[in-house]
Amino acid sequence: MKHTAQWKKEFADRFEARFDELKWLYCEVYNNDMQAFYWLTGAMYDYYQKRGTALKKRDRARERTPFWYSTNDLVGMMLYVDNFADNLKGVREKIDYIKESGVNYLHLMPLLKSPKDRSDGGYAVADFRRVQPELGTMKDLEALTDACHRNDISVCLDFVMNHTSEDHAWAKAAREGDEDARKRYFFFDNWDVPFEFERTVPQVFPTTAPGNFTQLDSGDIVMTTFYPYQWDLNYGNCVVFNDMVCNMLSLCNRGIDIIRLDAVPYIWKELGTNCRNLPTVHKLVRMMRIISEIVCPSVLLLGEVVMEPSKVAPYFGTKEKPECHMLYNVTTMASTWHTVATKDVRLLSRQTRQLSELPKDYVFLNYLRCHDDIGWGLDYDYLRGLGMSEVPHKRFLNDYFTGRFEGSPSRGELYNEDESLGDARLCGTTASLCGIETALSKGDKQALKTALDCDIMLHAYMLTQSGIPVIYSGDEIAQLNDESYHDDPDKKADSRYLHRGRLDWSKAKKRHDRKSVEGAVYQALLTLEDIRRKHKVFTASADFSVIDTENDHVLGIKREYQGESLYAFFNFSDAEQTVYFNAVLCGKELLSGEDVRGLGTGLKPYGFLWILCQNTD
């Protein structure tokens, strides 16, 4: 093994334990290119050497507790730096608010340098080593992560793997005819091969960015799976993999604890396939896992894989050869809002049961809302059996959440609407989708109470799921839709800015007043988070299952861990419902502190119960 005689023992020990597999994978993918492999291993040692003392101490601590992220005390928040506090220094000044909110996992949305007019929300990176100037500098990022670490807050950052901006130095050189730079992308001088790709590769944005290729002014054709200004990287070129790994390690050395692998299923391309989830993707991710375990073992890989749980699961890898540490529970978000509209929990129960059958060491991130739209990729094979056909059901959901359906209190907007298919994606904050905005505009106190109960119940459900709950910034104070984006020429074409508004700090000041909308939600979330932290039954490794409530409006979940059982019930209806148990249930309701004993109970509209029982077996 090259260099090992000069390496420090800590690095050398980690490297030697993983060398055989890393070399085997690299040689398999890159045709035994040992020169490139040893270049990579040398770079890995350089990044280890540059890693700060505090970060190395963090590495060692987390090596001793490798599953630290599967406990019940993590609560996440995702935010845009500018919307939250203008810039990175501003976020650092708001750490007390973050801590007060019970958050110890902070996801910073894309903040690396990207063109303002062609950024896709920061997902078109022009420089992986620089922060967007108006947000600050890399030193500011490092100062923020250091402050977060001193306050026991882990920091997550998006790592855009599949593509770069057309303004990236590599892309600029490729435009100018640099052959090495062109090999970093997929360049063609005619449409023959691109047309062959188009036969089998689906379109990501068929209405706003049709096709998977873009013809440049020069006549060259380049692969652009997402938008024309985002050029797909060619991971068949080992130089691309090596340099992107170094970009990742550079961010890790700035104090990033969780690397979100953006669009990871797309990174390997093969003619004649759909270029999604190909076997080599998993080899690349496995190598990234090995490399992080050697250089910076405290860092976690979070895979962004937008599919149903059974298809997402392979990205965890195996027990012997793990890949991602964590994945998003993508389908549950859409299914949750489907359940809000239909008031029918059967689909959600089915998906919860599917999740319960996966290994307990699979850690998911759970959320009600994120920065993106809500797509209705539901299990229509199952829903058809319930009388819900895909096209009319999507129309119903879109009508419901935009307030066009009679009696709906929701206020959202559509994104990428395709009228011919009756399809669209949904935008809106949690509060506005729950009806808080409508109730406030009408001055209807009863409707407001119902909407607040719905909002809080949904958060309680999210906190009951196995994994890490993540709150979208603003949801903790029931922030409403931001209509002002319609007047911004840079934003008005993208309705996702409806729920990407700036945090209203004047309203955040009301968070201590339980009589205010902001305080009602904020204080309820603090109470729920505190209960969750106190009881190990909420840990990710707990057994959980679905309870048959004999009521299609009420979802039931049972969690079991070390002699305790939690029975959780959620009423997705705006009417009172009754739940019956199969046996006498004896325990304590965790919110009220009241004793529970009986064969059934009533749930108020959008009510929920957390009943803790001590097992006597």
Provide the annotated active-site residues.
262, 304
Whole-Å CA distances, 123 to 199, 215, 303: 26, 21, 15
Give yes or no for a contact between 555 and 345, defined as CB atoms under 8 angstroms apart: yes
Report helix, strand or coil for 596: strand
- Measured distance CA(202)–CA(183) in Å, rounded: 24
- Measured distance CA(363)–CA(67) in Å, rounded: 10
Please count the residues of the chain.
Answer: 617
- Measured distance CA(426)–CA(373) in Å, rounded: 5
Report helix, strand or coil for 151: coil
- Measured distance CA(459)–CA(525) in Å, rounded: 7
Cross-strand pairs, 105: 76, 154
Give yes or no for a contact between 573 and 450, defined as CB atoms under 8 angstroms apart: no
Give yes or no for a contact between 72 and 536, defined as CB atoms under 8 angstroms apart: yes
Give yes or no for a contact between 255 and 299, defined as CB atoms under 8 angstroms apart: no
Of 397, 377, 401, 400, the C-alpha closest to 498 is 401
Give yes or no for a contact between 385 and 343, defined as CB atoms under 8 angstroms apart: no
Q: How many angstroms from the chain centroid is the CA of residue 61? A: 26
Q: What angle do CA 351, 356, 359 make, to 5 degrees?
A: 130
DSSP 548-588: --S-TTEEEEEEEETTEEEEEEEE-SSS-EEEEEEEEEEEE
Instruction: Phi first, then psi: give them for residue 566, nearest 5 degrees.
Output: -110, 125
